[in-house]
A and B are shown apart, each in its own frame.
Chain A
Amino acid sequence: MAKYIAKRIGLAIVTIWAVATITFFLMNMVPGGPFLSEKAISPQATAALEAKYGLDKPLFQRYLTYIGDALHGDFGDSLKQRGRTVMDIIKMKFPVSARVGGLTVLVALTIGIPLGCIAALKRGKFLDSLISVVATCGIAVPSFVICTLLLYFFGVKLMLLPTVGLSSWKHFVMPVMALSFYPTAYIMRLMRSSMLDVLGQDYMRTAKAKGVSGFLILFKHALRNAILPVITYVGPMLAYTVTGSFVVEKIFTIPGLGGEFISAISGRDYTLIMGTTIFLATLIVIMNVVVDIVYKMVDPRIKLK
Chain B
Amino acid sequence: MSEYLVDIKNERLSFFTPVGEVKALNDVSIHLREGEVLGIVGESGSGKSVTAYSLMGLTAHPGKLVGGSLMFNGHQIDQMSDKEMREIRGNEISIIFQDPMTSLNPVYTIGNQIMEAILLHTDKNKVQAKERAKELLELVGINEPLKRLKQYPHELSGGMRQRVMIAIALACEPKLLIADEPTTALDVTIQAQILELMMELKDKLGMAIIMITHDLGVVASMCERIAVMYAGKVVEYGTADDIFYNPKHQYTKGLIRSIPRIDTKEHERLIPIEGTPVDLLNPPKGCPFAPRCEECMKICLREMPPVTNFGRVHYTQCWLNQKEEMEKGAANE
Identify which of A208, A209, A299 contacts B106 (C-beta below 8 A): A299
Which of B82, B91, B104, B116 has the most C-beta atoms of chain A within 10 angstroms of its own C-beta?
A: B116
B residues less than 8 Å from A225 (CB atoms): 105-107
Query: Interface size of B by Cβ–Cβ distance < 8 Å?
Result: 28
Given the complex of chains A and B, what is the CA–CA distance between A9 and B210 in angstroms? Answer: 57
B residues less than 8 Å from A205 (CB atoms): 58, 97, 103
Query: Which of A18-26, A152-160, A184-192, A210-218 forms contacts with chain B?
Result: A210-218
Query: Interface size of A by Cβ–Cβ distance < 8 Å?
Result: 20
Given the complex of chains A and B, what is the CA–CA distance between A301 and B105 in angstroms? Answer: 11
Residue B120, interface by CB 8 Å: yes
B residues less than 8 Å from A206 (CB atoms): 97, 103-105, 165, 168
A209–B121 CB distance below 8 A: no
Identify which of A211, A221, A224, A301 contacts B90 (C-beta below 8 A): A211
B168–A210 CB distance below 8 A: yes
A211–B121 CB distance below 8 A: yes
Residue A298, interface by CB 8 Å: yes
Which of B56, B105, B120 has the most C-beta atoms of chain A within 10 angstroms of its own C-beta?
A: B105
A224 in contact with B107 given A205-B58, A206-B168, A209-B58 (CB within 8 Å): yes
A202–B102 CB distance below 8 A: yes
Given the complex of chains A and B, what is the CA–CA distance between A205 and B90 in angstroms? Answer: 12
* Chain A residue with the shortest CB-CB distance to B95: A209
* Chain B residue with the shortest CB-CB distance to A208: B58
* Chain A residue with the shortest CB-CB distance to B93: A209
The smallest beta-carbon distance between A217 and chain B, in angstroms, is: 10
A211–B120 CB distance below 8 A: yes
Given the complex of chains A and B, what is the CA–CA distance between A207 and B107 in angstroms? Answer: 13
Query: Can you pick out 20 interface pairs between chain A and chain B where the beta carbons lie within 8 Å of each other?
Result: A201-B102, A202-B97, A203-B103, A203-B106, A209-B58, A209-B97, A211-B86, A211-B87, A211-B89, A211-B90, A211-B120, A212-B116, A221-B105, A225-B105, A299-B106, A299-B107, A300-B106, A300-B107, A300-B154, A301-B154
Chain B residues proximal to chain A, CB less than 8 Å: 56, 58, 82, 86-91, 94-95, 97, 99, 102-108, 116-117, 120-121, 152, 154, 165, 168
Chain A residues proximal to chain B, CB less than 8 Å: 201-203, 205-214, 221, 224-225, 298-301
